[in-house]
Structure 1
Amino acid sequence: MNKRVLSAAATISLLAIPATLFAAPASKFLGDAIKGDNSEMTLGALAAKRGASSEVRAFGRMLQVDHAKAKTSAVVAARRERVSVSSGMMPEASAEFSKLQHLSGRAFDREFARYMVEDHQKDIAEFRKQERTGDRVTALLARQTLPHLRKHLATAQGIRT
């Protein structure tokens, strides 16, 4: 009888732990990381071409290069984990791309920097969580990617608009 009570209590206590404390499953994390890299490369290319300031254009090129490298690492991990590799973007990045296509000049730069700050803050939180609680493969990928995400956040925050 005591074992049943203890088992039920343990189950209930586990259910009370917020799901946000746990890392995403490897397949979801890797799929989102790859789509995130696709998104950053696409938005970076747009900024490199249409940015009004040299800072925004240089940041766009940095995003293209860094996220191409990150995608290569994520694809290797995804194939190892038998996760399909998408060529799509994250839905919020697609919406941002559409928004940015209608902007120019300082308005483009301001919106691009705003989105990059918000997006990289969110990404850093997700990658930190995966680093702490993910499986061996995704935790390592997150750990290796975090310095680049932090550099991108600092760059986006430093853009003068």
Structure 2
Amino acid sequence: MHDLKYLRGYPADLLAQVARMRDAGRLGEYLERRYPGRHEVQSDKALYGYAMELKQAHLRNAPAPDKVIYDNKLDVVHKALGLNTAISRVQGGKLKAKKEIRVASLFKEAAPAFLEMILVHELAHLKERDHTKAFYQLCEHMLPGYHQLEFDLRVYLTWRELEG
């Protein structure tokens, strides 16, 4: 039996509901009904542009990321849907930090709402480093319904793993 590893920590009644849909083979139907279609942000350049639009709309005073790319090495199993890192390099006599956002490549095939949720999450780290209450309030401010999207994204990951 497939466990619901992406949904650990959610209430038992929600897990039971997802398990029933999984057992009936209806997870894909649920996701397609709620999140039809796939986004068109396929290149790293387009991803960077999209991330900058979101940043400008919600986080004008936050520092801009230097790079936003799809990364086929991110491992979803280890909870890395996206990463927000600062790479430090010595340039001349100074230490320069470049901010990078990396999004797991599997999200090239995802619904537009899921890509937006991941970018909002990573962009929120520009202002709030840790997953605190303030961080999640910022995510919800930037993307109303953020928590439902995060839950449905975890259902999507469960469905993808079942489809193999």
Q: TM-score over 0.5 for the alignment?
A: no
Larger Rg: 1
Which one has the bigger strand percentage? 2
Which one has the bigger helix percentage? 1
